[in-house]
Structure 1
């Protein structure tokens, strides 16, 4: 498997980045506690997506979307802690995480889905068994990173899952054109699999917190200290674009080759020029743990 090359422009604060990613891996395993933040605060963001041009933000307390003046508005009536979240190519929302406090459901949501932009949800599988912290789709295949057990799981029918590689990761990304190619962010760099997540080469090269594939030749990553990178060759080499606004990242989604969504310490930002400039779409209040 191809080793990742670390360009000279990406060598700043490597030790600090590794420590930051290690802390993020630990923080993301913490169970949801709605008492951490005021109900009105938009914080603890775990995923971003667009459907029909509308921004959706998966948070510690439900899915939010911009209302008047960009203020976050709850979508539907569920205030679950949506840890994993992605919008599939057909517009279906896929999510995982923990139910809101006081609910009578299982402690882990498994895989749930919404076909009406998050207003209602149905359980697809693994309810009470799995909390996926990252989800990715390609070619009808769904990949989920089971954070509790440190394992990648894969399904084609969203009901029956196959266990694949064990690894310690924060985020995953699946190639939009080669569904068997999967990347995972780890404390030692980006780990690559070319066999559908059955095996991974050791993480190496650029240390990134989140990765997202906008197009075959447009793979984006953001480092723990908020530097945005782009790869045109599937992660073999990374080119630094520059810092994202607001500091430490919480989530990254590449909508296409040029349109990016990134959540950081003070906002959800959008770029339409491949990360050269950003506009803040929603304000964020950082939690006590900086997340």
Structure 2
């Protein structure tokens, strides 16, 4: 296994800091980022998704779920001001997430797995409340994959209530192959680590170092590095080709919809590409919050 010290120092350091943040205690999440209830803000973006029901963009943040409203301004979805983590759109109107309660709200520090069946307007707890903080979630072939950042553990569930423990590893993000649910990728400080047994074991991470990955179609595997460089792989992560640099600095979230349609959040907002990353349009402005 290659040692981290042989890697580009800046990239590894940024990812290492992000990995450390993933395992921080929940009090940090619950006590920070309080926003004015009358003025929605977009910061600490933790997830992006397109709902097939209406093709609308949904953004999971430290202060709740948002979508572009009239004139492109951020519009809050529902009433929740919780800190939403690991948002994934399982199917039309069905969202899965994890996270932490808003400052002063009732409930355990970790929400476990929560689910919405009305495009993020309301949420209910499915499992693991008080136990798990999943900073990354993916859904493929009827199976939920969750990376428990607090415990450094990949967990898998068919029904959202009963979970199987898989590999232990230090990762920031995961992505599951859309045509082979046994193939799972994880971003680590050493590079992209690959599993071919459903996440039971992972090979050592291989360069390049990616902060985030998203795998929408067999030919639509995208990764973004720590400086915002967007990369695409058409061979399940064996090789990568840089397509562009997403504007706005350090990445916070990434979602590929298909080979041409890509969404990325950086420090100053949410960007969308409809041409495979050649050009980007800003969809929502951010407040330059850290991940």
TM-score, scaled to structure 1? 0.92
> How far apart, in 2, do the equivalents of 1:254 and 1:205 lie?
21
Q: Alignment partner for residue 12 of structure 2, among 18, 26, 30? A: 18
- Runs of 4+ that moved beyond 6 A: none
Residue-by-residue CA offset, 1:6-29 (whole Å, 9 max, x unaligned): xxxxxxx93211111111112234
Alignment correspondent of 2:105:
103
> How far apart, in 2, do the equivalents of 1:60 and 1:36 lie?
7
Deviates more, 1:61-70 or 1:269-278: 61-70
Q: Alignment partner for residue 146 of structure 1, among 132, 148, 172? A: 148
> How far apart, in 2, do the equivalents of 1:141 and 1:98 lie?
23
> How far apart, in 2, do the equivalents of 1:259 and 1:33 lie?
34
Alignment correspondent of 1:191:
193
Alignment correspondent of 1:36:
33
- Spell out the pairing of 1:257-276 with structure 2 (5 A cutoff): 257-276=259-278
Alignment correspondent of 2:240:
238
> How far apart, in 1, do the equivalents of 2:75 and 2:255 lie?
20
Alignment correspondent of 1:9:
none
- Spell out the pairing of 1:125-164 with structure 2 (5 A cutoff): 125-164=127-166
- Spell out the pairing of 1:181-260 with structure 2 (5 A cutoff): 181-260=183-262
Specify the SS of the correspondent of 1:152: strand
Specify the SS of the correspondent of 2:14: helix
Q: Alignment partner for residue 172 of structure 2, among 170, 173, 181? A: 170
Cα contact 2:82–2:101 (8 A) shared by 1: yes
Cα contact 1:34–1:60 (8 A) shared by 2: no
TM-score, scaled to structure 2? 0.92
Cα contact 1:34–1:61 (8 A) shared by 2: no
Alignment correspondent of 1:73:
75
Question: How many residues of Structure 1 are paired with residues of Structure 2 in the alignment?
Answer: 278
Structure 2 gaps, min length 5: 2-6
